[in-house]
A and B are shown apart, each in its own frame.
Chain A
Amino acid sequence: MPIDLRTRLGHVELPNPVLTASGCAGSGRELAQYFDVAKIGAVVTKSVMLAPRAGRPTPRMAETPSGMLNSIGLQGPGIDAFLQRDLPWLLSRGARAVVSIAGGTVGEFAELAARLSDASGVTAVEVNISCPNVEHRGQVFACDPDASAEVIEAVRGRLRYDVPVFAKLSPDVTDIVTIARACVEAGADGLSLINTLLGMAIDTVTMRPVLAGVTGGLSGPAIRPVAVRCIWQVREALPDVPIIGMGGIRTGRDALEFILAGAAMVSIGTTIFHDPSACVRILRELEEELASRGVERLTDIIGLAHEPHPAPGRRLSRSSL
């Protein structure tokens, strides 16, 4: 019998839990050369801003052990081109589109939400609050519960009521649960955990920073345990809030680990650079992992690791508990 992989993104049902991670899949077009983008749960698009943006100078990337640093600077075409070209393309392919938005002010986030309200076919909005707040000395929204809440409230207020809002949180905070709670209280329907960790590399030949932007976001399997910890903590505190888990997922087994920690969906990011067809491979592997454990429904095991260990010999499935 096929395994029921359906999962819920807020009140929206997805056929399976494997998504792309924002910034690692463009708007799906490039990856469509490798797999059918309608086959995965959803395509989470690269963060779009109001205006076109050129991004940072090069070098923008450095390979690190089991990871990479990036400092792209949110290069993108702006919301007009996105709505005119990228979103219609995704929808024409039958893909579900989760649109990631980024801004430098609360007002910019609100305006993006308003623009997306007028567009049809947006499955959900992921709010990238790991951006510097230009009105507050460049402090990153996601590092402050009040600033995070302000952005989410503004987006929720301007977006159509039936489009779920997910807040994407940064792990570079003292207590991620405080930020998570602030976002949920401000109206977030769900949370995306985690964004990259701030990192840096120095070239020992030139004796200068490798990245033109000096610091960059660390991603890849190197950050996987940090992601699992963040998801665990947030699930423990807010068990009813749906979580999109991400951070170094490379295999179906990694995806399963995130689901057990409490993620209802997983996003595949840096691994796409290594393996452009990773999303469909991980989906297949996840299905195999579930089958080998006798799991019939994905939703049965979301957050299962939080439950007390069953007696020896019992199947690790909630339906049998």
Chain B
Amino acid sequence: MTDIAAEQGTGSAHVQVRGTVLTVRRVDAYYAMTVVAPGIAARFRPGQFVAVAVGGQETSMLLRRAFSIHDVRPDHGGTVEFVFAVVGPGTQWLSERRTRDMVDIAGPLGRPFPVPRDPVSCLLVGGGYGSAPLFPLADRLRGRGSTVDFLLGAASADRVFGALTARRGGRTAVITTEDGSMGVRGLVTDVLGQVIHEGRTDVIYACGPMGMLRQVTAIAGRYDIPAQVLVEEQMACGTGVCMTCVLPVVGEDGVTRMVRSCTDGPVFRGDLVRWEDAGTVPFDALGAPGWKPRRPAGPRPATNGRLTDAD
């Protein structure tokens, strides 16, 4: 009855620091904040996130805001950059920070993207600023000899994050916008099949809204290729203690559990997430009314031997 976190370990230690803000930049519809946090930068692996306290020491906003790490750099001993949209008073406060202000930041949190052992053809799919964590992943994949194609989409041109970087760094980069203001008019999922076909994609990595991740997983399944998805669930703590960011995921033993996006994720194998049941507790989930303890079954055959996070 071990849960996923216990089986796979919790990885390297987290760091909580009061870090100095280096820059806050406006990037189209978003903001990018760079904070000096050497301990976080040193431990970071692509897919991990930071949890940032907002509002200062006497804040009335108690919950940390979680953001994927977009970049780490060696300057000032080590900096981390994350991207956010202003959606409420907490992110508004963050956007008003200036150089030399301090922010309380914890990280690197969560399980990173597993990366292939051998060079393969990777497709990185991002919706909105969900593309932010894909760029350090692209660097890592290229460092291991894999090829990287990008497929980025958003409602409009100003909401496509990193189009230029994708075009510069990707073997190919396809952009979609719903209003047609950049690239192909439509959704990333409208062109995904074609991009997979043309790029002879072996692995998909995706980050964006739940609906997009669900579609990406379904299409990847049709092409029989694995999809690793980074979910953006609402979190309160980011450290695994509050149990608010759960979603139904099927374990290696075939049992569905309500697992925490923050510590069991935020990266999941797409085909193990029960997308149609997200937001609910499936009747047969471990500990749900319809769940029945059963004899332990034999291990399920591994369907995805190419990916490893052993490094």
Interface positions of A (Cβ within 8 A of B): 23-26, 29-31, 33-34, 46, 51-61, 63, 65-68, 70, 72, 75-78, 80-81, 84-85, 212, 220-221, 270-277
Contact = CB atoms under 8 A, between A and B. Distances in A.
Contacts of A57: 279-281
Given A63-B61, A275-B104, A75 B243 contact: yes
Contacts of B280: 57
Contacts of A76: 287
Nearest to B283: A54
B244 interface: yes
Nearest to A52: B287
Contacts of B258: 54-55, 75
Contacts of B257: 54
A58 B279 contact: yes
B203 interface: no
B2 A85 contact: yes
A274 B239 contact: no
Contacts of B278: 58
A274 B64 contact: yes
Contacts of A59: 234, 244
Nearest to B88: A63
B13 interface: yes
Interface of B: 1-3, 6, 10, 13-14, 16, 53, 59-64, 104, 106, 233-234, 236-237, 239-247, 257-258, 263, 278-281, 285-288, 291, 293
B287 A55 contact: yes
Nearest to B281: A54
Nearest to B261: A58
Q: Which 6 A-B pairs have the closest CB atoms?
A: A52-B287, A61-B244, A54-B287, A30-B240, A273-B237, A54-B288
Given A54-B285, A54-B288, A59-B234, A24 B241 contact: yes
B14 A72 contact: no
A272 B237 contact: yes
A60 B14 contact: no
B47 to A, nearest CB: 18
B291 A52 contact: yes
Given A33-B239, A78-B287, A273 B63 contact: yes
A26 B264 CA distance: 14
Contacts of B104: 275
A52 B3 CA distance: 11
B1 A58 contact: no
A55 B288 CA distance: 7
Given A58-B245, A221-B60, 12 more contacts: A51-B287, A51-B293, A52-B1, A52-B291, A54-B285, A54-B291, A58-B279, A60-B243, A63-B63, A75-B287, A77-B3, A275-B53
A33 B281 CA distance: 29
B62 A220 contact: yes
A72, A273, A277: residue with the most chain B Cβ atoms closer than 10 Å: A273
Nearest to A277: B16
Contacts of A24: 241-242
B237 A34 contact: no
A24 B242 CA distance: 6
B244 A274 contact: no
Contact of B240 (A26, A85, A221, A274): A26
Contacts of B61: 63
24 contacts: A26-B240, A30-B241, A33-B14, A51-B293, A55-B258, A58-B247, A58-B279, A60-B244, A60-B246, A63-B62, A66-B60, A67-B62, A70-B236, A72-B243, A76-B287, A85-B2, A220-B62, A271-B62, A273-B241, A273-B242, A274-B62, A275-B16, A276-B14, A277-B16
B242 A70 contact: yes
Contacts of A277: 16
Given A55-B287, A80-B1, A273 B247 contact: no
A191 to B, nearest CB: 24
Given A29-B10, A276-B106, A77 B236 contact: no
B237 A276 contact: yes
A30 B10 contact: yes
B45 to A, nearest CB: 16
A76 B1 CA distance: 11
Contacts of B233: 58
A316 B285 CA distance: 56
Nearest to A270: B62
A75 B246 contact: yes
B263 A30 contact: yes
A58 B278 CA distance: 8
B62 to A, nearest CB: 5
Given A75-B243, A272-B241, A65 B2 contact: no
A215 B59 CA distance: 24
A61 B281 contact: no
A133 B279 CA distance: 26
B215 to A, nearest CB: 20
A31 B241 CA distance: 8
A274 B63 contact: yes
Contacts of B281: 54-57
A34 B241 contact: no
Contacts of A85: 2, 6
B241 A25 contact: yes
A292 B151 CA distance: 60
B125 to A, nearest CB: 24
